[in-house]
């Protein structure tokens, strides 16, 4: 082992991990990872408790970098819910685009597998925190209120499914500059925002036509 231990950081570990994955050198365990990069295991554990935790950390950084960029805009907190969400999605997917090779490598092609991914657990917690803080969630009433006591915040879970859906679409998007994902973001956020106030049916039909067209053209 060399003296890189004293200069170690989360960023360094994440970079090594992503490089290992992209170069088909996925380590079997922490020992192998540390040996390959000439560091002590004890140094690794100062930052992450397992390779699984490290893998989740990649998504946390994608999220945190996006939030940091959003808050560099002093007007962000003045946006309405719809524009806050659109701004987050555009910023987050820009971060993913910068690391698309890695993301494509680690994500499945089947949407039904997304929710099973342990690597997205910390992202899910962070994103639901963003929704709780930034988006005015309508309070459920009646039976829905009773169900919420047992199922958690249904609205937050709905937004998480929305993010996964857009992520799945982006993985398969072959359009120039991923412009179809941008279109999807605008349509899906507009539709979800309008479900309560006005003319939701028109927006639902518009979204449905867009998704139907994409489903039966390029995306299988």
Indicate whether 177 pLDDT > 90.
yes
Please state, for a pLDDT cut of 90, what percent of the chain lies above it: 67
Query: pTM of the predicted model, to two decimals?
Result: 0.81
Tell me the C-alpha distance between 15 and 23, whole Å. 12
Q: Which has the higher per-residue pLDDT, 147 or 177? A: 177
Mean pLDDT of 115-134: 91
Span 96-110, pLDDT tens digits: 999 999 999 999 888
Indicate whether 75 pLDDT > 60.
yes
pLDDT of residue 94: 97
- Sequence-distant (6+) residues with CB within 8 A of 96 are 62, 103, 167, 170
The domains of the chain are located at 3-49, 52-215
pLDDT confidence of 27, banded at 50, 70, 90?
very high
């Amino acid at each position: 082992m060399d003296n890189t231990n004293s200069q170690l950081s989360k960023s360094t570990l994440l970079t090594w991990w992503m490089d290992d994955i992209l170069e088909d050198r996925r380590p079997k365990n922490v020992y192998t990872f540390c040996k390959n990069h000439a560091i002590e295991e004890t140094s690794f554990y100062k930052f992450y408790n397992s390779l699984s935790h490290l893998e989740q950390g990649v998504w946390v950084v994608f999220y945190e970098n996006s939030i940091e960029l959003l808050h560099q805009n002093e007007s962000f907190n003045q946006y309405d819910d719809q524009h806050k969400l659109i701004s987050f999605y555009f910023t987050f997917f820009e971060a993913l685009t910068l690391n698309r090779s890695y993301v494509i490598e680690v994500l499945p092609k089947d949407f039904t597998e997304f929710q099973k991914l342990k690597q997205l657990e910390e992202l899910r917690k962070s994103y639901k925190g963003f929704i709780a803080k930034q988006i005015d969630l309508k309070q459920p009433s009646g039976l829905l209120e009773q169900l919420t006591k047992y199922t958690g915040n249904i609205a937050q879970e709905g937004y998480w499914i929305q993010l996964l859906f857009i992520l799945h679409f982006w993985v398969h998007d072959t359009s120039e500059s991923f412009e179809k994902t941008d279109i999807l973001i605008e349509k899906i956020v507009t539709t979800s925002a309008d479900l309560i106030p006005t003319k939701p049916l028109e927006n639902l039909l518009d979204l449905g036509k867009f998704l139907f067209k994409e489903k039966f053209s390029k995306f299988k």
